[in-house]
Amino acid sequence: MRYDNIIEAIGHTPLVRLNRIVRGFKGQYWAKCDHLNPGGSVKDRIGIAMVEDAERKGLLKPGGTIVEGTSGNTGMGLALVAVMRGYKCIFTMADKQSKEKRDLLKAMGADVIVCPTAVEHEDPRSYHSVAEKLAREIPNAYHPDQYSNMSNPEIHFRTTGPEIWEDSEGRITHFVCGVGTGGTITGVGRYLKSKNPKVRIIGADPAGSVLTEYFRTGKLGKGEPYKVEGIGQDYLPATLDFGTIDDMITVSDKDSFLWTRRLARNEGIFAGGSVGTAIGAMLAVAAGCTDDDFVVVLIPDSGSRYLSKVYNNEWMRENRYLEISLPLTAGEIVQSKSESGSRPALIAVAPSDSVSAALEKMQSYDFSQLPVFEEGRPAGAIYEDVILNLALEGKDLKKLVVREAMSEGFPVVHSSSAVDHIMNCITRDCPAVFVDLGNYKYEILTKYDLLHAIAHRLEQPA
Ligand code: PMP
């Protein structure tokens, strides 16, 4: 493909199948990869649309200044057009947005003004109000205002919607998308419903935003701060048409960030934190899907904008997003062991086996001890150093049976036992416990298994 300039390379992003994170759910799941736009986000589409609309209407004249309040991505979309067409850019941003986004806009030649996040939309210090004021005061300035500019939903009606419809060959049944200005969901939703009114349009909303409650009850609440960037609101933008939306699903900051990381590590899709909100909502939808369902989730922006946040373990820990949700039980650890494929069959010996056979088994598996099972139940354990002492005493290991050499067995815990109880049982002298899984089934757990399960749990959404 060849283009005359970078603006022409916007759109026609790929639809990529999701494989691992949707394992076990019926239906098929696809990611509309708008993070692969040249400016790294879905907002490239509205940057050019709003500028061309303003040029047509005579609102933006040669040499003019574009002033916009942005969470960063719209700024990047506008900056690309500004570079190509010779406009200046001033962006206002809330201080919660990542430093990477600020630096990116500066790299594109824009001026960036950082405003407080913790103020109301109408407060004169908010990034919306500051953008409005600057646009009034600066000569030849134009304020696109993505929150009220109808070229925002319209460009998604004209491009994103048709691309998804065509690439799904008209089979799409659900579209899931984070809601910020609502431009993407409104434009794509309107288009898809114009092709097939049965397509369900689902909005993903961060916990703390007022949108879901308003959608459900018609009441506009106060809202709470949240960390996910680019989506959710504390007011109703004009660009958001709830009439096109069938459901809104709320997802916590923690789940959003954990799903974002899992998307990168399981599907190779490196996206920003708002994608996790959409994935969390998509999986809630997936629980009710059938084999005929064709679900598309929108990937809004690239993960490179969030290396200091979502993808930074220290930041995740500071914000308590990487904490295990206890209680973690013996049964759950056994399950995590089997899911990770690190669960070999239980290796054991019988009391009537010869000690030399037990020693051979230990050596072939590189174990320093083996459990002894009698009639399907744990009866004791046999240790390498005990066998060594017997050999030094001149005993014939071939004639000696395990019953004569075995020591007390590992403690048996129930599958509902908590991790701290298991830890108390595991000592220097007792390296493992048995988990009684019922029906004469037992699993052995070592300190290594506990650590492995805890590490695995750190990456799981609550
Ligand atoms: N995710 C991110 C990271 C965004 O920056 C935005 C746009 N603010 C969105 C999702 C939501 O898109 P829209 O404004 O079209 O609702």
Are residues 374 and 402 part of one domain? yes
Best residue among 35, 50, 71 to mutate for probing ligand 1's pocket (most ligand atoms within 8 Å of CB) is 71
- Pick from 142, 166, 188: which residue ends a domain? 142
Query: Is residue 355 in some structural domain?
Result: yes
Does 449 fall in a domain? yes
Cα(158) to centroid(ligand 1), Å: 18
Asked if 277 and 207 sit in the same domain, the reply is yes
Label residue 437 exposed, middle or buried (CB < 10 Å: 0-12, 13-18, 19+).
Answer: middle
d(C-alpha 106, C-alpha 114), whole Å: 12
Confirm whether 1 is domain-assigned. Answer: no
Q: Strand 28-33 and strand 15-17: pairing?
A: antiparallel
Given a cut of 80, whether residue 257 has pLDDT beyond it is yes
Q: How many domains does the chain have?
A: 3
- For residue 422, being part of any structural domain is answered with yes
pLDDT in tens, 361-394: 999 988 888 999 998 889 999 999 999 999 999 9
pLDDT confidence of residue 324: 67
Show Cβ contacts of residue 102 under 8 Å, excluding neighbours closer than 6 positions: 72, 93, 112, 114
- The ligand 1 atom nearest the CA atom of 181: 14
The yes-or-no verdict on residue 152 having pLDDT over 90 is yes
What's the CATH code of the domain at 72? 3.40.50.1100
- CA 276 to centroid of ligand 1, rounded, Å: 13
d(CA 69, CA 71): 7
Question: What is the model's pTM?
Answer: 0.77
Q: How confident is the model at residue 439 (pLDDT cuts 50, 70, 90)?
A: confident
30 and 50 co-located in one domain: no
Task: Report if residue 325 sits inside a domain.
Answer: no
The per-residue pLDDT for range 228-249, each reduced to its tens digit, is: 999 999 889 999 999 999 999 9
Task: Return the pLDDT at 446.
Answer: 85
Answer whether residue 31 shows pLDDT above 90. yes
Both 358 and 445 in one domain: the answer is: yes
Which residues fall within 8 angstroms of residue 185, CB to CB, at 6 or more apart? 175, 177, 179, 201, 203, 240, 244, 245
pLDDT digits (tens, 9 = 90+) for 291-322: 999 999 999 999 999 999 999 999 998 999 98
Same domain? 110 vs 237: no
Domain closes at, from 259, 284, 318: 318
> Mutate which of 127, 184, 306, 310 to test ligand 1's pocket (most atoms within 8 Å of Cβ)?
184
Residue nearest to atom 12 of ligand 1 (CA): 180
* Domain, as residue range, for 97: 44-142
Distance (Å, whole) CA 407 – CA 418? 26
Domain boundary among 80, 114, 142: 142
* Band (281; pLDDT cuts 50, 70, 90): very high
* Closest CA to ligand 1's atom 4: 230
Active site (catalytic) residues:
43
Asked whether 436 and 412 are in contact (CB, 8 A), the reply is yes
Q: Is the CA virtual torsion 294, 295, 298, 304 positive or negative? A: negative
* 185/303 same-domain check: yes
pLDDT in tens, 69-122: 998 999 999 999 999 999 999 999 999 888 999 999 999 999 999 999 888 888
Q: Let me know if residue 68 belongs to a domain.
A: yes
Give the separation between CA 161 and CA 391, rounded to whole angstroms.
77
**Domain shared by 163 and 311, yes or no:** yes
Position 271 in a domain: yes
Question: Are residues 244 and 275 located together in one domain of the fold?
Answer: yes
> For residue 323, is it within any domain?
no
Is residue 452 very low, low, confident or very high in pLDDT (cuts 50, 70, 90)? confident
Share of the chain above pLDDT 70, in %: 97
Mean pLDDT over 191-212 rounds to: 98
Please tell me the residue having the least CA distance from ligand 1 atom 2: 230
- Atom of ligand 1 lying closest to residue 70 CA: 8
* Type of residue at 43: K
Q: Are residues 132 and 216 in the same domain?
A: no
Same domain, 75 and 186: no
**Residue 251 shares a structural domain with residue 363:** no
Say yes or no: 23 and 72 in one domain: no
Which of 144, 137, 40, 38 lies closest to 87 in space, CA to CA?
Answer: 144
CATH number of residue 381's parent domain: 3.10.580.10
